[in-house]
Amino acid sequence: MMTRISLTNARVIDGSGADPFTATIDVVDHRIVAVRRDGEAATSGAAIEPGTEVIDCAGRTVMPGLTEAHCHISFDNVVSMEAVVATQPEDHALISLKNAQMLMERGFTSLYSAAAAKPRLDVAVRDAIARGLFPGPRIRAASQEMSPSGNLGDIDNNYLQLPRSLAFAITADGVDEFTKAARLAARDGVDNIKINVSGDRDWGHMHADDTTTVIAEEEVAAVVAVAGPRKLMVSAHCTSSEGVKICVRQGVQVVYHAVHADEEARDMLEAAKDRVFVAPALGLPLTMLREAADYGLKWPAERFANLEKELATTRACMRDLHRRGVRVLPGGDYGAFITNPMGTNARDLEHFVDFLGFPPMEVLVAATKHGGALMQRGGELGQLRAGYLADLLVVDGDPLADIRVLQDHDRIEAVMIGGRLVKDRLAEGRRGVERRVAAE
């Protein structure tokens, strides 16, 4: 049965970067069929027809749904990687579904996964939502992190020998092992393969800090060689400058962090800006710096000083990449540590405005239009345009005046995914009169 919904009197932010305007948005089944600005005559097929459900959005903003570009639905406010391993797969799948639905309620209609904590967690949730078993966001499912031994995520240390079904990360060494790990991930049904190209801030004890490139270029090439013919994307944890260069040369599409990218690396990202995305993942280091004490974490002064230095370097790099036209997207490792809890993901939009200095409209474009491109659906997702999928939000407030309004899930009054209202706080107020008018 065909469904018709018209959102009237909407203040529209359409995701293109254009100024807001007032319009009626007509949705038929899964797609937007018309965006009719005030004063425009209803075109044939776009007029409000009998049986149309009318949602009066007067005083509210209607905008595309948000994309979370660095999502970990299976990272449930991690206290340690060992604790993640201790969660059994069946329980972990339910936790992952819970987190996906929570993000949907908070306005994230698309999730690009940056790694799963166990095999097939993302895949199982994605498929259950796609089959209609549960409401939920669109998901590009990821593999576990694949890392050389002695790097971020390697907690085996030659002693535990954790089975793949429980391991936080898959350790691989050499072309053959990376090839096999990538092929197994493809067999699992993932959309994205995640590799750890560099070390990280807290892995100096393994001689793998955030300036260190830990992988061989031929190992990255091996993963890309598996992904390419299967039309999978490759994402990289990559803080080191040389790592960024390897990623660009080998065709990695998503570079996370890119903290230490030097001038040459930034030139390369700029040259590849039509095929590459960068997501700095600001949420985690900012909350570690600013809020560690709130969680009872008593770290030495040196660690806070290092975080301040890292963030200053990140800010300079991201501002430069943005100036060069590289698509820099919000998404900040939410759930990956207790200071940065799952569900607070919209804080990254505020970080882009207040910390990086991006104009609010450009942040919204990054989280919507560019997010649709990241999801590999740029021609039908991330904007409010005729023919596009009807993934949208009704917001009580103006995100351009105060980007923080998107952090208040009570003010995200309606969420639509593919023309279906999966959250609707406005239903009670419109029962009766508006439906009768539409039926006349």
Q: Which of 98, 189, 107, 196 is CA-nearest to residue 141?
A: 189
Q: Which of 67, 66, 68 is CA-nearest to residue 332?
A: 68
17: left (phi over 0), alpha (psi -120 to 50) or beta: left
Phi, psi of 219 (to 5 degrees): -70, -40
- CATH superfamily label, 66-374: Metal-dependent hydrolases (3.20.20.140)
Strand runs labelled E in 125-281: 138-140, 142-147, 169-171, 192-196, 233-238, 254-257, 277-279
Q: What is the pTM of this model?
A: 0.94
Here the tokens at position 310 are: 């890292």
Quick one: pLDDT at residue 45? 44
Are the beta carbons of 283 and 350 closer than 8 angstroms?
Answer: no
Q: Which of 321, 325, 308 is CA-nearest to residue 263?
A: 321
Give residue limits of the domains in the chain. Answer: 4-65+382-439, 66-374
Quick one: pLDDT at residue 156? 63
End-to-end CA gap in the chain: 19
Are the beta carbons of 392 and 413 closer than 8 angstroms?
Answer: no
Give the residue carrying structure tokens 């923080």.
404
Q: pLDDT tens, position by position, for the chain (440 residues)?
A: 789 999 999 999 999 999 999 999 999 999 999 999 987 754 444 456 778 999 999 999 999 999 999 999 999 998 888 888 889 999 999 999 999 999 999 999 999 999 999 999 999 999 999 999 999 999 999 999 999 888 777 776 555 666 777 778 899 999 999 999 999 999 999 999 999 999 898 877 888 788 999 999 999 999 999 999 999 999 999 999 999 999 999 999 999 999 999 999 999 999 999 999 999 999 999 999 999 999 999 999 999 999 999 999 999 999 999 999 999 999 999 999 999 999 999 999 999 999 999 999 999 999 999 999 999 999 999 999 999 999 999 999 999 999 999 999 999 999 999 999 999 999 876 554 444 444 44
Q: Which CATH code for domain 4-65+382-439?
A: 2.30.40.10
Supply the angle between the helices 347-354 and 283-291 in degrees, to the nearest 10.
Answer: 80
Give the residue carrying structure tokens 């092992």.
177
Q: From the centroid of its chain, how far is CA 237?
A: 14
Q: Is 385 exposed, middle or buried (0-12, 13-18, 19+ CB in 10 A)?
A: middle
Q: Is 319 exposed, middle or buried (0-12, 13-18, 19+ CB in 10 A)?
A: middle
Phi, psi of 171 (to 5 degrees): -90, 135
Quick one: pLDDT at residue 426? 92
Here the tokens at position 260 are: 């230490």
Are the beta carbons of 121 and 142 closer than 8 angstroms?
Answer: no
Contacts of 238 (CB under 8 A, 6+ apart): 197, 198, 244, 247, 252, 255, 256, 257, 258
Quick one: pLDDT at residue 150? 80
Contacts of 47 (CB under 8 A, 6+ apart): none
Quick one: pLDDT at residue 196? 96
- Residues 35, 409: Cα–Cα separation, whole Å: 26
